[in-house]
Structure 1
Amino acid sequence: MNTPQRHRHLVTCVLLLGLLAPWQITTAGVFSVTPVRLYMSPRDRAIAVTLTNEAETEVVLQADINTWNQKPDGTDELVLTEDLILAPPIIKLAPKARQVVRLALLKPADASRQLTYRMIIREVPEAQPASGIQVPIALALSMPVFITPPAAKREMNCAAQRADTKTVNLQCSNTGTAYAQIREASLLRDKQPLARFEGGSYILPGASKTVSLMGEKAVAAGDAQLVVTFDDGQSLTTSITLP
């Protein structure tokens, strides 16, 4: 992924209503946010976020902040919170306009563990006079927010289990105090890839997730190396034996 793609996320949405001819569709704008992942330290009271209206029409945006936790099985849990605030909370952008807003932390940070949130920025579709029923297409972008003290670290344990002849399931548990994000996992034998997973799966502290490594052909039994690479470029290598 090139640099502009990493640091700018363009949000689009398509709604297919081909069978609903009598309905009127109110189209929405297109906006982008920079950065797409927000990092703060306990010393930061606020950070800058840039919103850009990519459309030819005015757009109105609203932000909600949620605490972000995961159940032991990795299922996300989001709860509205006032721990952080985006100022201003409602932003009106002219066509092709750009505005810098501030995300501020209102509660003391935890010195021992990472705090995780998700900021959801939604478009507020304006009503437009038209005959028939209005079906607005509103856009939304959910961005992770991490407030990380120096002592917070991930602690990952991963185990592989065969699912079928071409698939190996990888279960990873995070027993640390900071998030982990698996970017890639590879199963190797004699440095040759047998199966692979590519994605962006987050595992918060106390949670576990299972991802599937897929091979192009049957994965033979025997010794292999499992290499799990995280979003910071670090890797975890484990020797395994496939039945």
Structure 2
Amino acid sequence: MKLFPQLHRPASAPALYGPAAIILLAIGVLSAAPAPALAGVFSVTPVRIYMTPRDRAVAVTITNEGDTEVVLQADLNAWTQKPDGTDEQVPTEDLILSPPIIKLAPNARQVVRLALLKPADASRQLIYRMIMREVPEAVASRDKTIQVPIALALSMPVFITPPPAKRDVVCQAERGAAQALNVTCSNSGTAYAQVREVLVKRGTQVLAKFEGGTYILPGARQVMSAKGEQAIAPGAAQLGVSFDDGKSQTFDITLP
């Protein structure tokens, strides 16, 4: 998957982390004249990292897709969400990437190892984010100005999941803007949930729809806007929620 810069949004944003996100870290030019130099282009596989308590480490493949050398390093953060769904990331030493600094020649590929240093929890999922960050190098142009290239980073979720850990999601809907419903889903389980689609139906008629990649971590809730093509009449309806693992849940609701 080739990566190109776009603006960063929080991990809870519907379209950002499904499956991967690009963070525009810096665009700096230490002079008024030329445009900034272009950054390298790199890819990381997998874009979501799954481990079990028995896994001592997992392999991650990094590929330089560009025609210039790229230098990368990883930031490792514990990832949680507040009850209102706001993301919180705190640097952690629970994980280590080996080697910590990766230098790749043009079109080169390297396999690195991500290891968990602390004992895994036997009952709940441990959740992290690994941000693979390009280390930019300032370069001097012919007119003796200094340019700082765009620096890219790829943020990947990391899940260490014991067998008992499960999501436990409950959803409800209320009226929002015109021709839209606010769908609130809460996760009281011990593992993450990622909502890929929400359908509000009455019989075979689709009243409103949401598509995205919204993460709901344990203890948090998220509000998603499901939009319809016409005014939504009150009455009984069915709220269907589909998750990233292909499973779904249906809730009976009454629209006021």
TM-score, length-scaled by structure 1: 0.92
After TM superposition, the structure 1 = structure 2 runs for residues 27-46 of structure 1, keeping only pairs within 5 Å, are: 27-46=38-57
Partner residue in 2 for 1:178: 191
After TM superposition, the structure 1 = structure 2 runs for residues 43-82 of structure 1, keeping only pairs within 5 Å, are: 43-82=54-93
Contact 1:26 1:136 in 2 (8 A): yes
Contact 2:50 2:161 in 1 (8 A): yes
SS at match of 1:10: coil
User: Sequence identity, in percent?
Assistant: 67
Partner residue in 1 for 2:4: 12
**C-alpha displacement at 1:10, in angstroms?**
2.5
Q: Distance in 2 between matches of 1:205 and 1:133?
A: 46
Contact 1:23 1:133 in 2 (8 A): no
Partner residue in 2 for 1:85: 96
Partner residue in 1 for 2:229: 216
For residues 122-181 of structure 1, the C-alpha deviation after alignment (integer angstroms, 9 at most, x for no partner) is 111122122334242000000000000000000011110011330000011100000000
**C-alpha displacement at 1:24, in angstroms?**
4.2
> Would you say 1:225 and 2:217 are equivalent positions?
no
Specify the code of the residue in structure 1 equivalent to 2:152: L
> Would you say 1:121 and 2:132 are equivalent positions?
yes
Q: Distance in 2 between matches of 1:157 and 1:224?
A: 16
**C-alpha displacement at 1:217, in angstroms?**
1.5
Give the superposed CA RMSD. 1.6
Contact 1:168 1:213 in 2 (8 A): yes
For residues 68-88 of structure 1, the C-alpha deviation after alignment (integer angstroms, 9 at most, x for no partner) is 011111111001111111100
Partner residue in 2 for 1:202: 215
For residues 67-109 of structure 1, the C-alpha deviation after alignment (integer angstroms, 9 at most, x for no partner) is 0011111111001111111100110011001111100111100
**C-alpha displacement at 1:23, in angstroms?**
4.6
Partner residue in 2 for 1:234: 247
**Greater length-normalized contact order (CA 8 Å, ≥ 6 residues apart):** 2
Specify the code of the residue in structure 2 equivalent to 1:100: V
TM-score, length-scaled by structure 2: 0.87
For residues 175-207 of structure 1, the C-alpha deviation after alignment (integer angstroms, 9 at most, x for no partner) is 000000000000111122111000000000000
Residue ranges of structure 1 left out of the alignment (5+ in a row): 1-8
Partner residue in 2 for 1:95: 106
Residue ranges of structure 2 left out of the alignment (5+ in a row): 7-23
Contact 2:139 2:148 in 1 (8 A): no
After TM superposition, the structure 1 = structure 2 runs for residues 107-118 of structure 1, keeping only pairs within 5 Å, are: 107-118=118-129
Contact 1:11 1:140 in 2 (8 A): no
Moved over 6 A (4+): none
Partner residue in 2 for 1:147: 160
